[in-house]
Structure 1
């Protein structure tokens, strides 16, 4: 089966490569990251300087020129076309009450910069104190509740910029 890959070089040039294209190269592995390549009777010295296998990104040096390379297969392309990104996290812009309860304490103010996992507020529900922490780094845009307020499920508590 001849798989195809879309290779982006320096985020500007896109090249479609198949397994057959790779097999046609005359390649000798000099070391674990260095290669001698012969294509159409032209020699190339190639070295993988950096590699992030999970994100499929590499920094490759070919004849003393360095290139950033991103390799995508058919599944990666389909996921991108569908509007998703592999490994991307959802940007959370607000925090809503997951259950009815009473606001016991608010640890932040509007305009305050917060870091991920920093405590934002405490909600008492069913005789238990639930500490809500920041899901991401950000700035507090608004606080829709005050200390002592009773809230219902899905009420907006805090909004991020």
Structure 2
């Protein structure tokens, strides 16, 4: 059974192509990102503007009209039907000490809004300073340590709302 591909154009037009239909596509490359396509004896000039290979999304221009196209194969469709989204990550709500050490600096306070990659604190462990950056945008809910505290591995350091 040939693989099927679900295409979504501008999140409004959806259709399915299989491998057999793709093999019969009359397309000729006309540069690195440009193609000349014949469909039912109609010529189309197609250009790929942007690509996101991980999300399988593309911005294409067809005869000077721009479209957003998402492509999913059989596996992508199965994963989606199971309620699993590719590329989604778990939201981090707490920072815990990865090793025993000494808190050298706490750069944030409770209630403070932080941006992703903003410094939170510095932990000294094995004579090395380890900077902890915020894993996400958020608000600091609680800080369980102070400058000068010794901490154990797995101990809660900072919690997000």
TM-score by length of 2: 0.76
Describe how 1:3-152 pairs up with structure 2 within 5 A. Answer: 3-99=3-99, 103-123=103-123, 130-149=130-149, 151=151
What are the Cα deviations for residues 51-95 of structure 1, in whole angstroms up to 9, with x where unaligned? 233332111112222110111112222333344333333321211
> Matched residue pairs, number?
161
TM-superposed CA distance for 1:98, in Å, is 3.7
Q: Distance in 1 between matches of 2:92 and 2:155?
A: 15
TM-superposed CA distance for 1:128, in Å, is 6.6
Q: Cα–Cα, structure 1 residues 124 and 51, in superposed 2: closer, same or farther, change >3 Å? A: closer
> What is the DSSP-based 3-state SS (H/G/I as helix, E as strand, rest coil) of the residue aligned with 1:77?
helix
TM-superposed CA distance for 1:142, in Å, is 2.3
Gapped runs of 5+ residues in structure 2? Answer: none
TM-superposed CA distance for 1:50, in Å, is 1.9
- Superposed CA RMSD in Å reads 2.9
TM-superposed CA distance for 1:115, in Å, is 3.9
> What is the DSSP-based 3-state SS (H/G/I as helix, E as strand, rest coil) of the residue aligned with 1:66?
strand
